[in-house]
Amino acid sequence: MREYGSSEIRNVAVVGHGASGKTTLVDALAFASGTSKRHGSVNDGSSLTDFAPEELERKYSINVGCAYAEWMDAKINLIDTPGYLDFQGDAIAGLAAADGALVVVSATAGVEVGTELMFREALARRDPVLFVVSLIDKEHASFDRAFESIRERLTNTVIPVEVPVGEGPGFHSILNLFSRKAHVYKKGTKNGEYDETDIPPENQAQFDRYYQELIETIATTDDSLLERYLEGEEIGRDEAIAAMKEGMKRGEIFPLFCVSGELTYGTRALLTKLVELMPSAYEMEELHALHGAEGDETVEIHAKDDAPLSALVFKTLTEPHVGDVSFFRIFSGSVMNGQEVFNATRNTAEKLGHLSVPQGRDRTEVPRLRAGDVGCVAKLRNTHTNDTLSTREHPVRLPDIRLPEPLVTLAVHATSRNDEEKLQQGLHRLHDEDPTFQTHYNPETHETVVAGMGERHLEVSMAKLRRKFGVSGELTRPRIAYRETIKGQGEGQGRHKKQTGGRGQFGDCWIRMAPLPRGEGYVFENRIVGGAIPSKLIPAVDKGIQEAAARGVIAGYPMVDFRAECFDGSYHSVDSNEMSFKMAGILAFKTVAAKCKPVLLEPLQEITVRTPDQYLGDVMGDVSARRGQILGTEASSDGRGTVVHAVIPEAELHLYATELSSMTHGRASFTARFRGYEEMPIDAAQKVAAESSKDEVFAEA
Ligand SMILES: Nc1nc2c(ncn2[C@@H]2O[C@H](COP(=O)(O)OP(=O)(O)O)[C@@H](O)[C@H]2O)c(=O)[nH]1
Ligand SMILES: [Mg+2]
């Protein structure tokens, strides 16, 4: 491969819903360009960009994957992304590495949830977007229906630049509106080759209709073009393309293409349009990065070879015996194979050994990579997804890839008890390669929990854990960190007396307990006057109360938000010591707490659900069924549906992401954050208390 400079590079993220044909299309584009030597297929596990064992087994993409096609003196970096929402972290990372998005829409399914999500993500990044309707050769394919669904659900400035002739098994030609020719494909076409003909008479009317619309739409993006168009002047191909490219940059116009990736029909025209319509890396909008040892200055980043290096690691793939492979996008500067660079995010030096360009699973070593390109290296020591590589002289931190917060939390246990430590290490390595997978230990419930974008995400993560780190983790419903408190006041005695042969034990205290406001925790007050208990033994009473409070009195959960005063007691000059007063404190707590109307507290989450209006009733009804309380609703600021604010007990939110998704066909989304603790209704509390008597972990704790 020759060296490519930033004006010759296009970085395109291929995004869209699962099974819309993205991975197949990436393979076909690389193959039709002649760059990749074999036409691979998702079905037999030979596609360029799906090669992880987890992907081969499931036949869908999980990791962002990189390939490239050399076409018209340009290098198109094709960044294939997963379509299922569970893996959207990698899709967002793919967009962060690219300068434009190729949004793939299935001709059979039209716009789906993943299409919508990634289109909006691309818009939010102000990336130009090119649509392609895929799977045109499939049974029940309909270009017009897919086009309509884009217009209805995504944008009404989408405009076809190509139109298929014959859909489903009859698909054989594509009318190219820019060239005003028909591309006719023969059965047995292997790499996108076609015969170019004039528009066949039977398609002339169809062509004219679309052509008219295309030229009008382009003209409206540019005043001088519009004027000439209205005066009846002809608008040339190059002019039209240039105007379209500018319109795309401003997010005003979205061209639409059609392909069959499997048959390679339409691939060559698409390659040409990616080169002509997508901005080169040189044209990227400047980025603002943090600079300097303190990271407190802002610098502008431009894709120039002679600028200081800045490269964003958008993906690391951990392989236990091979070492990590890190994929990065160079935003400025160039790098040489073997060069030492500086990871400003972690303050460590790294050496770029075996600097390569990725073509799916294959990596070709190169002497140098220039600004704007995508590359990979193996075996960096301490570099993870979202880190910036720069130089020690010019340390830079590029803006983080903004990844979504996890939506599903489960507990994880090592299947074999001896594997606990291995499990912990493996979980942290998984997080390093996939920041949307998170893990922490919950000391209140004594469990390690994992959180991710969905159940499927967590299950796939467990499969990775087994393969890469040789440890099996079992996922279970996480315990809820209930707490206890008191609602009333009371007082009583704790008296500990033991006589065993020689020296005995004697401790005696009187305490008074009262509730504190939520969140105040625990307060101990010494109200002993006249030395009823020697002052050096009073802390032992406090300690005893705290020890007993940690186990509560209802269901073994820690008691919080109460005050305990020690106001009387007695002691024995020989038999009293710290141990005996601690015991007295424990006994006093148990007696008194039971009299003070103890109740269970449960953690609450405040959730914000965004849903299309047609599901609003279902969503609200479901919130109530989960013992939730609606705080309010408002129209979504983007005019797409309603936003519901509600408070729901954490115990009722188990797998909410999955259920909300099935209730709304994936159209609703939600965020949740911890709100605090509140008293549980009596019937729910009784269930928890009954459960806990079976649960020995709390009894032991
Ligand atoms: N008939 C037909 N099937 C296709 C085409 N492209 C992909 N497929 C099939 O659709 C399924 C999903 O394709 P894939 O490329 O993995 O989709 P992705 O999830 O968007 O990456 C696979 O079984 C492919 O073989 C196509 O152009 N025509
Ligand atoms: Mg895929």
Q: Which of 403, 387, 283 is nearest to 329 (CA)?
A: 387
| Residue-level pLDDT at 597 | 96
Kindly identify the ligand whose nearest atom is closest to the C-alpha of 109: 1
User: Residue with structure tokens 């895929």?
Assistant: 134
Pick the residue whose CA is nearest to atom 19 on ligand 1: 19
| Sheet (strand 297-301) strand order | 297-301, 287-291, 396-397
Does residue 462 come out as left (phi exceeding 0), alpha (psi in the -120 to 50 range) or beta? Answer: alpha
Does 18 sit in the ligand 1 pocket, CB within 6 Å? Answer: yes
The tens digit of pLDDT for each residue in 477-525 reads 999 999 999 999 999 999 999 887 777 899 999 999 999 999 999 999 9
Q: Which residues pair with 290 in a beta bridge?
A: 298, 397
Alpha-carbon dihedral 140, 144, 150, 151, rounded to 10 degrees: -150
| Residue-level pLDDT at 696 | 42
pLDDT at 700 over 80: no
| Mean pLDDT across the chain | 94
Does 137 sit in the ligand 1 pocket, CB within 6 Å? Answer: yes
Kindly identify the ligand whose nearest atom is closest to the C-alpha of 90: 2
- Residue 480 CA to residue 652 CA, distance in Å, equals 10
81 Cα–ligand 2 center, Å: 6
| Residue-level pLDDT at 293 | 62
The tens digit of pLDDT for each residue in 236-290 reads 889 999 999 999 999 999 999 999 999 999 999 999 999 999 999 999 877 888 8
pLDDT at 298 over 90: no
Does 61 sit in the ligand 1 pocket, CB within 6 Å? Answer: yes
Pick the residue whose CA is nearest to atom 14 on ligand 1: 21
The tens digit of pLDDT for each residue in 559-580 reads 999 999 999 999 998 899 999 9
| Residue-level pLDDT at 342 | 96
- Residue 49 CA to residue 457 CA, distance in Å, equals 19
One-letter amino acid of 542:
D
The tens digit of pLDDT for each residue in 451-470 reads 999 999 999 999 999 999 99
Taking CB atoms within 8 Å and a gap of at least 24, the contacts of 61-64 are 61/18, 61/22, 61/23, 61/87, 62/87, 62/90, 62/460, 63/87, 63/90, 63/315, 63/317, 64/90, 64/91, 64/93, 64/94, 64/97, 64/314, 64/315, 64/327
pLDDT at 699 over 70: no
SS3 readout for 101-159: EEEEEECCCECCHHHHHHHHHHHHCCCCEEEEEECCCCCCCCHHHHHHHHHHHCCCCEE
| Residue-level pLDDT at 697 | 39
- Residue 636 CA to residue 640 CA, distance in Å, equals 6
| Residue-level pLDDT at 283 | 92
| Residue-level pLDDT at 503 | 78
- Residue 272 CA to residue 245 CA, distance in Å, equals 13
143 Cα–ligand 1 center, Å: 16
Burial class, 466, CB count within 10 angstroms (exposed 0-12 / middle 13-18 / buried 19+):
middle
Torsions phi, psi of 262, nearest 5?
-60, -45
- Residue 595 CA to residue 598 CA, distance in Å, equals 8
25 Cα–ligand 2 center, Å: 9
Q: What is the pTM of this model?
A: 0.90
- Residue 210 CA to residue 163 CA, distance in Å, equals 8
As a whole-number percent, the residues of the chain with pLDDT over 90 amount to 87
| Residue-level pLDDT at 87 | 97
Answer for the pair 398, 301: CB distance below 8 angstroms, yes or no.
yes
- Residue 596 CA to residue 490 CA, distance in Å, equals 6
One-letter amino acid of 22:
K
Give the model's confidence band at 417: pLDDT under 50 very low, under 70 low, under 90 confident, else very high.
Answer: confident
Please give the full DSSP string across 592-609, using - where no structure is assigned. Answer: HHHHS-EEEEEEEEEEEE
- What are the tokens at 574? 């020989």
Does 110 sit in the ligand 1 pocket, CB within 6 Å? Answer: no
One-letter amino acid of 257:
F
The tens digit of pLDDT for each residue in 189-220 reads 889 999 999 999 999 999 999 999 999 999 99
